[in-house]
Amino acid sequence: MTIGIYENLKKDTAPYYVDRLTKAIEMGGSDWFLLNEEEKQADLYISVGGDGTFLKAAKYAFKYDVPVLGLNLGTFGLLTEVDKDNAELCIKRIAEGEYDVEERTVLEVFVEENKNGEIKKNFVDYGINDCVLTQLSLLKASYVRLTINNSYVETYPCDGIIVSTQTGSTAYSLSAGGPIVMPGCDVILVTPKCPHFTDGRSIVADKNAEVRLNVVKENHEMIVSVDGEESYKLKGNETIVCKNANKKLKIIRMNPPDFFAALNSKIEARDRLMGIGKGVI
């Protein structure tokens, strides 16, 4: 077995836990490499950090269609379930096959342009959390036309639109007023950012939906961001298309956390950091 490790290089404690992981891997007779230094296929990937680090490792896991596991160095994570002090135990359980695999929906995102009747894809990416259409300047509103399955929904004067998976429902979408969605619900969420003169409610679409976004009033400051990465700057009459990918992300689960307990734990950790009262949902 070969294991790829993705390390959060900004965490001072990460090298110590990576060292513990690699020694356990070697003792078990397996090979390993640092995904930060070289990209290649492994039998599985392990992230060492928080949920953000997990998302980066998960991109590779999805690409190569192999499982990913999160070793948590921060607060209680929604995706990184293995405590840092259980590094050796998690390697032992992997070697013995004592784990389950949970599948999560991933968004396929592309930007297409119609040139004289020929459709050209100018950008393609995959989002575990979300795709965000946003503007670089907040001095004026953008006008975004939303269609779902070729049916017109609304044109939003807004700062942008968030299209998210269930996994991303507790990320940027939640900050913008979107709903919390439990794992196992394969839906697509569409949430406007700061909509003007509309109610701006989120839309919960079917897992087979195709979401299309068009900027209908000229704006040269619009970008498409996938999972928090600045990915593509719109350059003209283009359409952003979001739909479920034809395969899913595989997450290794050993002791899956209670979803709402984990979510409350993250909120409480945020509140402690900000010096305010206990945060609960």
Per-residue H/E/C for the chain: CEEEEEECCCCCCHHHHHHHHHHHHHHCCCEEEECCCCCCCCCEEEEEECHHHHHHHHHHHHHHCCCEEEEECCCCCCCCCEEHHHHHHHHHHHHCCCCEEEEECCEEEEEEEEECCEEEEEEEEEECCEEEEEECCCCCCEEEEEEECCEEEEEEEECEEEEECCHHHHCHHHHCCCCCCCCCCCCEEEEEECCCCCCCCCEEECCCCEEEEEECCCCCCEEEEECCEEEEECCCCEEEEEEECCCCEEEEECCCCCHHHHHHHHHHHHHHHHCCCCCCC
With the CA atoms of 186, 179, 76 and 81 taken in that order, what torsion angle do they form, in degrees rounded to the nearest 10?
Answer: 0
- Active-site pick, 12, 31, 51, 271: 51
Q: Is there a contact between 54 and 80 (Cβ–Cβ < 8 Å)?
A: yes
Structure tokens at 163: 């299209």
**19 belongs to the catalytic site:** no
Show which residues are catalytic.
Answer: 51
